[in-house]
């Protein structure tokens, strides 16, 4: 009896001791793991910061090169028609020297940072190619270069060699002329990685490029198809993105000895628990009846708890189902009422859903569209282009925006639309399709077109305005000077136009100005052009026309202007005359301000001589 009492009395102390031992061991394990992971993460953050700084410096190099004046000078000269023999070659040499300077100056530990710097034109021609690998065939193609308006990083696998590439599109006056391509010295990246690994508790340090290839610090330096690090319970893998680059840095603790591995593994607390259960087993043998009763009580309590928990989960599940149904209903209502075209395709281009606005585009119901592709509704060439755009969005794994003109099958009207194609992925990251949304931008396009027209034309007469005139005259003077041609200009000014406005009104004055503009426009060659210079003054530009021919044309225009009466809106007619001043390049001046000033002086000379006549500028 006493022995049995002592057994029952000692049991709680034994159980308490073993539980405290298990608890303290588990907490120690957690603290050790957290400390190790914190140390590893700290080292990894330092390494990622170094590599991020390295990459940002390279981006700064490429952006600095894109802003170099030699590039702008070269494309400006080429746009002006300059040939290699007359100055374009000097611009190209200056451009090459700027590229060569970057390759020669950017070094670290006497190793060049750039293996190669190129400027590739849109057609695929390498305009500039400098560096250790210059002259060799490039291991990438234009289709492999990302279509983006800003700097981008990517990796090319060529055999057993990895090429780390930076690209930046170059624009000149809003037009893309080509791409600056820089190949980073991969040995430099590995050296950064190796030198930043001072701690012995790091097993690997690996850069994963685009999650496709691995650049590691192995002695061979050869790329691996998959990371050489595998996670386990005692040695987890930590990943760290490298700034804004497409690379991810991973690391893992080194292997420990068998005792340390056991003490930090899950088997250590498990073994203590087994010891506890074994001790309890011997105690329960002595008190089988009581233990059985307590077990039954706990089972009943657990069953009640599980039942209560099940009821609570069932209620929560019903609420969640109702919420999702309400959410889906709201989403369906939104898609059906939105004024934009909305559709969803799977990765193979098969339609999964669409809204009523899209039904009008193809002239079919949603049931008739689902399960079909664009090839079932439009001609093959159009369907091919749509398929290419969908594939580009999926390849880029980012929204793709473009503008198109679509024709609705239900009534045949056309709209200009802006289309956003967005690749969709499920919760596991698997690509499930492409969501398309097209918005009507017809009004915006018309407004843009009208704004472009008004920026270069006079709204009253439809002729070039003064701003466009200045631009065209400068171009014609440059061309005449380059090819040793003549250029004639005469200024036309209506006589007594103020009297016309005062007598007949400004609306009648506008009719007279439009009539004069029409006479001037129909009386010149296709290669000539007319501009309204201001008020009642007009400028006529005659490229490759000598002074004698320009004078004859001015005389004919003077006669045409005074010959016919101009009908006004109230049934009245009016006759007008004009004074014309003629000037020629290079006889009278060699700058656009000078030649227009000469024509203006000649025009005022015609007015002082009695108006309604032509005067040639004084030499």
What pLDDT does residue 193 have? Answer: 54
Strands 573-574 and 202-209: unpaired
Same domain flag for 88 and 174: yes
Residue 604: the pLDDT is 95
| Same-domain check for residues 421 and 463 | no
Domain-embedded: residue 216: no
Residue-level pLDDT at 217 = 43
Residues 208-232: what's their mean pLDDT? 46
pTM: 0.40
pLDDT of residue 80: 84
Give the domain range for residue 415: 338-446
pLDDT computed for residue 257 by the predictor: 55
Look at residue 204 and tell me if it is in a domain. no
377 with 481, same domain: the answer is no
Closest CA to 533 of 595, 615, 448, 591: 595
Q: Tell me, yes or no, whether 275 lies in a domain.
A: no
Residue 48 resides in a domain = no
Please report whether residue 385 resides in a domain. Answer: yes
Q: Name the residue with higher pLDDT: 286 or 343.
A: 343
Q: Are 274 and 225 in contact (CB under 8 A)?
A: no
pLDDT grade for 498, boundaries at 50, 70 and 90: very high
The CATH number given to whatever domain includes residue 541 is 3.30.70.270
**202 Cβ contact list (under 8 Å, min separation 6):** 40, 43, 251, 252, 253, 254
The residue from 446, 479, 511 where one domain ends is 446
Which of 47-61, 111-125, 250-264, 341-355 has the lowest average pLDDT? 250-264
In a domain, 245, yes or no: no
What is the per-residue pLDDT across 547-569, written as a single tens digit (0 to 9) for each? Answer: 999 999 999 999 999 988 999 88
Please report, for residues 23, 24, 55, 362, the alpha-carbon distance to residue 11 in angstroms, rounded to integers and kept in the order given: 18, 20, 64, 81
Token couple for 249: 């840095």
pLDDT bin (cut points 50, 70, 90) of residue 219 is very low
pLDDT for 254 = 56
User: Where among 387, 412, 446 does a domain terminate?
Assistant: 446
Q: How confident is the model at residue 486 (pLDDT cuts 50, 70, 90)?
A: very high
Q: Does the pLDDT value for residue 503 go beyond 60?
A: yes
Most confident stretch, 274-283, 553-562, 568-577: 553-562
| Residue 310 pLDDT | 77
Q: Higher-confidence residue: 322 or 153? A: 153
Residue 30 corresponds to which tokens in the numbers above? 């957690």
What is the mean predicted confidence (pLDDT) over 388-405? 89
Q: Mean of the per-residue pLDDT values for the chain?
A: 80
- In a shared domain, residues 389 and 521: no
CA 166, 168, 170: angle at the middle one, nearest 5?
Answer: 155
Q: Which of 123, 157, 190 is the last residue of a domain?
A: 190
Whether 517 and 436 map to the same domain: the answer is: no
Q: What average pLDDT does this structure show over 33-51?
A: 78
285 occurs within a structural domain: no
Instruction: Output the pLDDT for position 195.
Output: 53
Count the helix, strand and coil residues of the chain and give each as a percent rounded to the nearest 5. 50, 25, 25
What pLDDT is attached to residue 489? 94
Could you give the percent of the chain with pLDDT greater than 70? 76
pLDDT in tens, 168-215: 898 988 889 899 999 888 766 666 555 544 444 555 455 555 444 455
Separation CA 117–CA 100 (nearest Å): 8
Question: How many Cα atoms occupy the beta-carbon half-sphere of 471 within 13 Å?
Answer: 8
* CATH code at position 374: 3.30.450.20
Task: State whether 474 and 583 are in the same domain.
Answer: yes
557 lies in the same domain as 420? no
424 and 477 inside one domain:
no
* In a shared domain, residues 439 and 481: no
Q: Quickly state the pLDDT bin for 447 (edges 50, 70, 90).
A: confident
Tally of residues, the chain:
619
pLDDT value at 236 more than 80 = no
Is there a single domain that holds both residue 349 and residue 477? no
Residues 6+ positions from 240 with CB-CB distance below 8 Å? 41, 44, 45, 47, 48, 248, 249, 250, 251
**Total tally of structural domains belonging to the chain:** 3
Together in a domain, 476 and 381: no
């Amino acid at each position: 009896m006493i022995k049995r009492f002592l057994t029952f009395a000692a049991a709680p102390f034994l159980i308490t001791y073993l539980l405290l031992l298990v608890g303290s061991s588990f907490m120690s394990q957690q603290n050790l793991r957290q400390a190790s992971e914190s140390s590893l993460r700290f080292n990894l953050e330092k390494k990622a910061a170094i590599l991020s700084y390295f990459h940002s410096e390279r981006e700064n190099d490429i952006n600095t090169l894109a802003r170099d004046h030699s590039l702008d000078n070269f494309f400006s000269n080429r746009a002006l028609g300059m040939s290699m023999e007359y100055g374009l070659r000097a611009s190209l040499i200056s451009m090459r020297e700027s590229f060569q300077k970057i390759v020669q100056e950017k070094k670290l530990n006497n190793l060049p940072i750039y293996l190669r710097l190129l400027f590739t034109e849109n057609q695929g021609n390498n305009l500039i190619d400098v560096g250790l690998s210059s002259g060799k065939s490039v291991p990438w193609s234009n289709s492999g270069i990302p279509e983006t308006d800003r700097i981008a990083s990517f990796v090319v696998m060529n055999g057993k060699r990895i090429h780390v590439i930076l690209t930046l599109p170059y624009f000149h006056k809003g037009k893309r002329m080509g791409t600056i391509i820089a190949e980073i010295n991969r040995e430099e990246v590995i050296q950064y990685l190796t030198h930043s690994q001072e701690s012995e508790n790091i097993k690997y340090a690996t850069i994963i490029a685009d999650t496709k290839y691995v650049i590691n610090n192995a002695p061979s330096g050869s790329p691996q198809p998959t990371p050489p690090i595998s996670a386990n319970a005692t040695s987890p893998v930590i990943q760290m993105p490298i700034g804004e680059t497409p690379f991810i840095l991973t690391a893992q603790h080194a292997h420990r000895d068998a005792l340390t591995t056991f003490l930090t593994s899950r088997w250590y607390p498990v073994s203590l628990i087994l010891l506890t259960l074994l001790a309890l087993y011997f105690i329960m043998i002595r008190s089988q009846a009581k233990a059985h009763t307590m077990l039954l009580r706990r089972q009943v309590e657990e069953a009640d708890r599980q039942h209560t928990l099940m009821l609570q989960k069932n209620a929560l599940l019903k609420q969640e189902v109702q919420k999702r149904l309400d959410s889906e209903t709201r989403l369906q209502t939104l898609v059906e009422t939105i004024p934009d075209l909305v559709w969803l395709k799977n990765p193979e281009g098969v339609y999964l859903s669409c809204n009523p606005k899209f039904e009008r585009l193809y002239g079919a119901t949603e049931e008739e569209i689902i399960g079909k592709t664009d090839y079932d509704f439009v001609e093959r060439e159009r369907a091919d282009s749509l398929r290419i755009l969908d594939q580009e969005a999926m390849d880029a794994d980012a929204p793709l925006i473009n503008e198109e003109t679509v024709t609705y099958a239900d009534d045949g009207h056309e709209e200009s639309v802006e289309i956003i194609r967005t690749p969709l992925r499920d919760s596991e990251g698997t690509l499930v399709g492409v969501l398309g949304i097209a918005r009507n931008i017809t009004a915006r396009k018309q407004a843009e077109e009208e704004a472009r027209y008004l920026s270069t034309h006079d709204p009253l007469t439809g002729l070039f305005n003064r701003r466009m005139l200045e631009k065209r005259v400068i171009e014609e003077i440059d061309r005449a000077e380059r090819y040793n041609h003549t250029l004639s200009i005469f200024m036309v000014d209506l006589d007594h136009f103020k009297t016309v406005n005062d007598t007949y009104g400004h609306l009648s004055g506008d009719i007279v100005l439009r009539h004069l503009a029409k006479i001037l426009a129909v009386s010149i060659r296709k290669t000539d052009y007319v501009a309204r210079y201001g008020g009642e003054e007009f400028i006529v530009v005659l490229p490759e026309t000598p002074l004698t021919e320009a004078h004859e044309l001015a005389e004919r225009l003077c006669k045409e202007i005074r010959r016919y009466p101009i009908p006004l809106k109230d049934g009245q007619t009016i006759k007008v005359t004009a004074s014309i001043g003629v000037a020629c390049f290079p006889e009278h001046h060699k700058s656009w301000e000078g030649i227009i000033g000469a024509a203006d002086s000649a025009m005022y000379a015609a007015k002082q001589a009695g108006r309604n006549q032509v005067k040639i500028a004084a030499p």
